[in-house]
Structure 1
Amino acid sequence: MSRRDFVKVVGAAAAGAFLYSAGFPRVLAQAPVIGTRDVTGMKSSGDGSRTKVYFSRKIDAAHLIALYDCINEGIYGKTAIKLHTGEKHGLNILPREIVREFVCHVPDSTIVETNTMYPGDRYTTALHRETLKVNGWDFCPVDIMDEDGFVNLPVRGGKHLKEVAMGSHITQYDSMIVLTHFKGHAMGGFGGSLKNIAIGCASGQLGKRQVHGYLTGPMPPSGDAWGRMPLQDAFMERMADSGKATVDYFGKHIVFLNVLRRMSVDCDCAGTSAAEPTIPDLGIVASTDLLAVDRASVDLVYGRPASENHDLVERIESRHGLHQLQAMRNLKMGNDAYELISID
């Protein structure tokens, strides 16, 4: 049975270890061994295996493409590039010129997005398309995947969700590249590859409500959620559930790239109101493993001096953001022990 047939049937029915490679740059080899700091409060999986996470300190199209070429063995056919295109005039969204070159490098690829749950510049398809033009995402087609509704993807072994309503166009793609601007997030603490697919692929008016846990009525003021850790933990777990639905759907045909650039404590959803970043740009990480790529990104942030990472770490910890990593591990969504391999 094909993936698409499986979805139709279901819908109808209803780091750990941070290792330096031999060629790792001297400047980073002298830095703290980040993986030995127990960032998440959990030990690595312990089976001895290490996932490869590729890394470059250089943030440009050439290195983004080179990193992608290290992990793209499973990418084929019609390919979705999941990107957060941001609110109007967003200060920190990924540079369009870098993404343009990347899209040109990937045959038969399309940038994909979904509408938002909250009223704003991307609340409806019409508003969303206008925002895409304003932000310079008009150099290629952009598929707003929930423009024509949603499709239920199953969550195998999910803790809270058994299925999630995704933008219906997701089933039109053979592969997915998750190209993520890694940064802080008002509810998640940080927004990495998990957030990009867990919320970013979910349909605006149903799937995103499922993930946030508000199926009826208006969303509460954001401040009401902060600090209520049981509520926050459940949100991280629902994000993991939702992310698992997308990862399971694409199987070996999904890869992840996190760009650690302009890392505000705020998501690109904040638009022009996003706080100015206080941590320097760190580079790009890439992997076929969702848990490993997000853990490596967090480890790189935590490895910076407190004078640089204080604001972003405070945002992550005040929102219980590290529970994203634990929730993914609990669902066996990847390996938290990884080898960081520099391509510089």
Structure 2
Amino acid sequence: MSSIVYFASARATRWDYKYSLIGKLEELIKRLDFSQRIAADEYVAVKTHFGSQGGHRIVRPIFLRKIVEGVKAVGGKPFVTDTTRIMGWDYLEVANQEGINPMSVGAPVLLADGLFGYDSMPVQAGPILGQINVASAIYDAPAMVVVTHCKGHIQSGFGGAIKNIAMGGVSGRHRSGDWKQARGHLHATGEMDMVRHLELCTLCLQCYHVCPTGAVLFDGENISFDEDNCWRCGRCARVCPEGAIEPGGTRENFQRALAEAAQAVLSTFEPGKVLYFSFVLEVQPECDCMPLADTPVVQDQGILASADIVAIEQAAYDLINKAAPLPQSLAADKGLRQGDRILAEALGVDGQEHIDAAAELGLGSQEYELVEVKEKGDS
């Protein structure tokens, strides 16, 4: 059975607010009918990505504010949240630099796993993960609105709604110090740990500069690693041009683990209490957690909205794959043309794998009906 996915095109050809993307977002909010999902005085997690020092293409504060206002309009109490990607104080400062703060979005801005990344609750996951710790403020929230910037990802191939709650809904650290109890377990699945081939290292120092915890050490001559301080986030492995660092586990296990972690996060909510907005805008080839933002690989497509995580994910991925690649981008560098599977062929990893895995786990339907919203008040 197909699910409804509402779509607002990024094109705006009439000089009228109701045809603007912000105006059309208001209509998308109306179509999802928050009143049927959110009760009066319920706390509502508005889950997004706070960005990174050097990145600049996250979902913009004006869009977050409109969603916050939609939650408030039905009596909900929203808070805008993410989990620690770097040390908590620094990450909140990154959010502020990106324009995400209580003044701009109209709601509290907080870290779901706490300032130190330890606040979480264990939740049963699938056979690969076994158990994962879901960030406490997401675990305890009665409802959630998942607001996603769609982009590429060097390890999963696609960063959409599934990755947003899978990697972004679990704790960055665990009080025991065991990385297998936190986000690192997604990257180094099973019993495998990071594997390093230092004989291949050319001292390009990309791993040193990208590490969020200072676990990569350089004494002026040699690279070494502080194992106790390593979160196993895999950034060093993803940027190493020589293949000197491997994240542990297999690509197939990682893709499946994303779906399992998303299932674990969603299991903490009653059915129907989670809604999704996916912004297929400024589709850069790398994740928002990286310290840069390359040029987009395709033109802005628009905003999707749905109550089905798999349907909205499939729709977003399809939009990107059907779009024409932009010049002066990674897609152009790879010689891609319209009709090619843009992100998969540009990155060498197919995000369809974790979308298929999520569907197999019963998180939603890959069959969808795309319903276009052309203006505010378009009923």
Identify the TM-score tier after normalising by the shorter chain. Answer: 0.7 to 0.9
Task: Tell me the distance in 1 between the aligned counterparts of 2:3 and 2:276.
Answer: 13
> How far does the alpha carbon of each residue in 1:85-122 deviate from its partner, in whole angstroms, 9 at most, with x for none?
10125221122222223222312111011102xxxxxx
Who is 2:58 aligned against? 93
Q: Note closer, same or farther for the CA distance 1:274–1:285 as it changes in structure 2 (3 Å cut).
A: same
The alpha-carbon deviation at position 299 of structure 1 amounts to 0.9
TM-score (norm 1): 0.77
Who is 1:12 aligned against? none
Task: Tell me the distance in 2 between the aligned counterparts of 1:253 and 1:102.
Answer: 15
> How far does the alpha carbon of each residue in 1:176-226 deviate from its partner, in whole angstroms, 9 at most, with x for none?
000000111111101000000000011002421121126864446225499
The yes-or-no answer on 1:192 pairing with 2:160 is yes
Q: Note closer, same or farther for the CA distance 1:326–1:159 as it changes in structure 2 (3 Å cut).
A: farther
The yes-or-no answer on 1:61 pairing with 2:34 is no
Percent identity among equivalent residues?
26
Q: Note closer, same or farther for the CA distance 1:132–1:314 as it changes in structure 2 (3 Å cut).
A: same
The yes-or-no answer on 1:237 pairing with 2:256 is yes
The alpha-carbon deviation at position 149 of structure 1 amounts to 1.7
Amino acid paired to 1:285: L
Who is 1:262 aligned against? 282
Contact 1:82 1:177 in 2 (8 A): yes
Task: Tell me the distance in 2 between the aligned counterparts of 1:66 and 1:225.
Answer: 49
Task: Tell me the distance in 2 between the aligned counterparts of 1:310 and 1:303.
Answer: 8
Task: Tell me the distance in 2 between the aligned counterparts of 1:267 and 1:233.
Answer: 19
Q: 1:339 aligns with which of 357, 365, 369?
A: 369
Who is 1:52 aligned against? 4
The yes-or-no answer on 1:182 pairing with 2:150 is yes
Task: Tell me the distance in 1 between the aligned counterparts of 2:183 and 2:280.
Answer: 25
Amino acid paired to 1:90: G
The alpha-carbon deviation at position 310 of structure 1 amounts to 6.4
Contact 2:160 2:313 in 1 (8 A): yes
The alpha-carbon deviation at position 311 of structure 1 amounts to 5.0
Look up the SS of the partner of 1:262 in the other structure: coil
Task: Tell me the distance in 1 between the aligned counterparts of 2:96 and 2:359.
Answer: 38
Q: 1:283 aligns with which of 292, 299, 302?
A: 302
Look up the SS of the partner of 2:267 in the other structure: helix
The alpha-carbon deviation at position 161 of structure 1 amounts to 2.0
Larger Rg, first or second structure (1 or 2) = 2
Who is 1:113 aligned against? 82
For structure 1, which runs of at least 5 residues remain unmatched after alignment? Answer: 1-48, 117-122
Amino acid paired to 2:351: G
TM-score (norm 2): 0.70
For structure 2, which runs of at least 5 residues remain unmatched after alignment? Answer: 11-19, 174-180, 194-226, 325-335, 375-379
Correspondence list, 1:1-344, <5 A:
49-58=1-10, 60-71=21-32, 72=34, 73-76=36-39, 77-107=42-72, 108-116=77-85, 123-138=86-101, 139=103, 140-147=107-114, 149-155=119-125, 158-205=126-173, 206-213=181-188, 217=227, 218=230, 219=232, 221-222=237-238, 223=240, 224=243, 231-250=250-269, 251-271=271-291, 273-305=292-324, 307=337, 311-315=342-346, 318-344=348-374
Amino acid paired to 2:112: M
Amino acid paired to 1:184: G
> How far does the alpha carbon of each residue in 1:16-46 deviate from its partner, in whole angstroms, 9 at most, with x for none?
xxxxxxxxxxxxxxxxxxxxxxxxxxxxxxx
Q: How many residues are aligned here?
A: 286
> How far does the alpha carbon of each residue in 1:208-263 deviate from its partner, in whole angstroms, 9 at most, with x for none?
11211268644462254999998111101001000001122212100111100000
Contact 1:159 1:237 in 2 (8 A): no
Task: Tell me the distance in 2 between the aligned counterparts of 1:225 and 1:53.
Answer: 42
Q: Which has the higher contact order (CA 8 A, sep 6+)?
A: 1
Deviation >6 Å, runs of 4+: 225-230
Task: Tell me the distance in 2 between the aligned counterparts of 1:86 and 1:254.
Answer: 22
Look up the SS of the partner of 1:189 in the other structure: coil
Q: Note closer, same or farther for the CA distance 1:228–1:299 as it changes in structure 2 (3 Å cut).
A: farther
